[in-house]
Structure 1
Amino acid sequence: MKPTMYLLVAGLFFACQQQKQITAETTSLKGDWQGAIKNDFHARSRFISFEDSVCTNSQPWGNNLKYTIKNDTLFIQSAPQDKYQQKYQYTILKLTNDSLVLFSDSTDGIPAETIALKKIEKKNTVKPSAIYFASGACFGTCPSMYFEIDSARNFTFYGDRFADPKGGSRGKLSAAEYESILNQINKLPLDSLQEFYRAGYTDAQTRAVAIEAGGKLIKSTVYGSEKEPVELSILLNKLMHEYEHVSLKADTTVTLDYFSKHPAAKPTTTLTTFPEPKN
């Protein structure tokens, strides 16, 4: 009887552990989540996007961070630029198809926090014929670049100040990367999307996107990151790093004039042109 009882107890224990286990393959975790950061000044949006093994969040240097899950705990590795290489730990209090609640314990003087997030859903069915992106320089480190992605996934790139590579080049996006961009575009709140968003601080980077679709041009330019909808933040953040996923070959036929004179690309090259704020 004793061996049988041991097996029964072990089986029950294993079953309980299995019910609690959440893995990196958990379908409901993958996707884009949004919530709010509250402080003494104002509330602003935050986001975290999960892919198969990496995630991206709204914090500086929060792009393509490796993550793992063990039981009910989420571990996120800090960015490669972090010399301390920290691993941030969050307890998963709740995970459903549309709701994620994380708990971050108090560490290094940072107070404990419960983070409530909801999944971002698709809001439109736009099918772009071309996508244009541009970014301006800031602090002498932010890369200034311009690129176009057509519906065949061709990637036309021009790197300006602090960009690598510099000058004109061409490449091609993978089908998976292109589909990921389309997925973010389909989450944009097009009915309320504004052409300009400007943060209330200075020395920030300007980024712009223009999307050709169905004979129309959808465009938005953002200075800093404060006023724009979180869906636009996620898209711009993804586009900002898209060149890192493309094998680029130098092409001297690609010049800045191509973007500054192209009717659809032009909105992304006038990065410093903002309407005056209303008093």
Structure 2
Amino acid sequence: MVKNLFVLFLVVFFLSCEKKPVTPQEMILGNWSVVNKDSVMPWERDIRGFEFLADSTCDYKVGFWDWHKYQEERNRAIKNKQSLDDKILNYLGTKTKYKITKDSLKIFNLTEKIWELYQIKKFNKDTLIVKRDTIVSTFTKKKYDIGMSPDFDAVVFSSSLCYGSCPANDLVISKTGEVLYKGSYHVLNEGWYTAKIPLTEFEKIQRRFKEADYMGLKNDYYTMVTDSQQISVSFIKDGKIIKTISDYADSAPNEFIWAYTPLMYLGQKLDLKSKENKKYLDNDFFHSSFVTVDEQKGMNLTQSEVFYLVTLLMDAKNVDVRFDEKYLLRYDNNYIKEVKTDGRYYKLYLKNGKTEIKDIGFNYITDNKLSEKIEIIKR
């Protein structure tokens, strides 16, 4: 009797220990990225990615735009022979809903306001192959070791114009949630503004760049095409630039594009407060270079590097010191004739004949390791 009970106990025990089959709802959870064919040109590649959460929420990494409203306003402007410069493409964000069954995945398209059907052709713990219409796409499950990437105190984002509706804007977001924003073209608000985001929002921004392994990326990504948008992102730690990445024509790795795209449209959802700034430092395009005074050597700066420098100059103290005017900072606007600097002190020669010397508190060239970019100017 005791022996029979013991055997029955063992049977029940081992049956209870058997692994239950993993359901599609469980297996879909996590991050997925599309697998591109090697033959696809960079500007034609698919950059889709998803993060599926247990509450039926989907983070559609590339996001959605209100293309219908934009096209209607654009067509109306063309019909009335009006300028297209003020037409804004509204960003709808990345968060949407999804449904999954054994043989289909549905994702709600915020642009079209419909459920998009993806027929599941193959699905296991690390591969998802789906068919939409006639297109078959393969996704692979991604695992990110974000502990390998260092924290940053602030991120500087800059975007240029393109042949189209690309927003041109610049912003600095700090870990305290403070935002300094400059809108230039194809944006809801032009000019200088301040705003505040929740600390949890900054943590999301930081996590996305860490998932992209931002410190391990190249400094420059580009494709040989014209009329595309130039993006530059600088990462700040203890007031210094620890990394700058430039991306032209969406040529960077998918995760990096996913990380910076929401920043490009952040100004559309911020509660912006107008900010007064020194007009003689303002500009529509933050492009510049350091050139030695003999004009034999120089270095180009990315838009985000210039924008960060300008924000430092705007807050810098005016001082009366002598210094080695080693470099010319080429910064063109309606107020400045030229700027001479040693990296820390900046002497502004204004077109009205006045001069100012500003101290940013550290050497922007050497402390940010920008001197590594210096090269002989080719004639």
TM-score (norm 2): 0.54
Q: Equivalent of 1:94, from 107, 114, 123? A: 123
Q: Equivalent of 1:267, from 305, 316, 319? A: 305
CA RMSD of superposed structures (Å): 3.6
Are the equivalent residues in 1 in contact too, given 2:234–2:241 (CA < 8 A)?
A: no
What is the CA-CA distance between 1:131 and the residue it aligns to? 0.8
**Matched ranges for 1:119-158 at <5 A:** 119-123=142-146, 124-158=148-182
**Matched ranges for 1:179-258 at <5 A:** 179-190=203-214, 192-213=216-237, 215-226=240-251, 228-253=252-277, 257=281
Are the equivalent residues in 2 in contact too, given 1:217–1:264 (CA < 8 A)?
A: no
Are the equivalent residues in 2 in contact too, given 1:167–1:252 (CA < 8 A)?
A: no
**Rg larger in 1 or in 2?**
2
SS in structure 2 of the partner of residue 180 of structure 1? helix
Given the alignment of the two structures, is residue 75 of structure 1 paired with residue 70 of structure 2, yes or no? no
Q: 2:59 corresponds to which residue?
A: 55
Given the alignment of the two structures, is residue 64 of structure 1 paired with residue 121 of structure 2, yes or no? no
Q: Distance in 2 between matches of 1:88 and 1:20?
A: 21
What is the CA-CA distance between 1:149 and the residue it aligns to? 0.7
Unpaired runs of at least 5, structure 2: 1-20, 66-91, 288-300, 309-374
Q: Distance in 2 between matches of 1:246 and 1:231?
A: 24
What is the CA-CA distance between 1:264 and the residue it aligns to? 10
The count of corresponding residues between Structure 1 and Structure 2 is 240
Q: Equivalent of 1:113, from 122, 136, 140? A: 136
What is the CA-CA distance between 1:158 and the residue it aligns to? 0.8
Question: Aligned pair in 2 of structure 1 residues 190, 145: CA closer, same or farther (>3 Å)?
Answer: closer
Moved more, 166-175 or 193-202: 193-202
SS in structure 1 of the partner of residue 195 of structure 2? strand
Are the equivalent residues in 2 in contact too, given 1:132–1:265 (CA < 8 A)?
A: no
Unpaired runs of at least 5, structure 1: 1-17
Q: Distance in 2 between matches of 1:155 and 1:40?
A: 41
Q: 1:4 corresponds to which residue?
A: none
SS in structure 1 of the partner of residue 185 of structure 2? coil
SS in structure 2 of the partner of residue 225 of structure 1? coil
Q: 1:46 corresponds to which residue?
A: 47
SS in structure 2 of the partner of residue 121 of structure 1? coil
Q: Residue by residue, what CA displacement relative to the aligned partner does 1:133-178 show, whole Å, maximum 9, x if unpaired?
A: 0111123411110000112111111100111111111111122211
Question: Aligned pair in 2 of structure 1 residues 42, 164: CA closer, same or farther (>3 Å)?
Answer: closer
Q: Distance in 2 between matches of 1:252 and 1:200?
A: 39
Question: Aligned pair in 2 of structure 1 residues 239, 69: CA closer, same or farther (>3 Å)?
Answer: same
Matched-pair identity in %: 16
Question: Aligned pair in 2 of structure 1 residues 57, 200: CA closer, same or farther (>3 Å)?
Answer: farther
SS in structure 2 of the partner of residue 179 of structure 1? helix
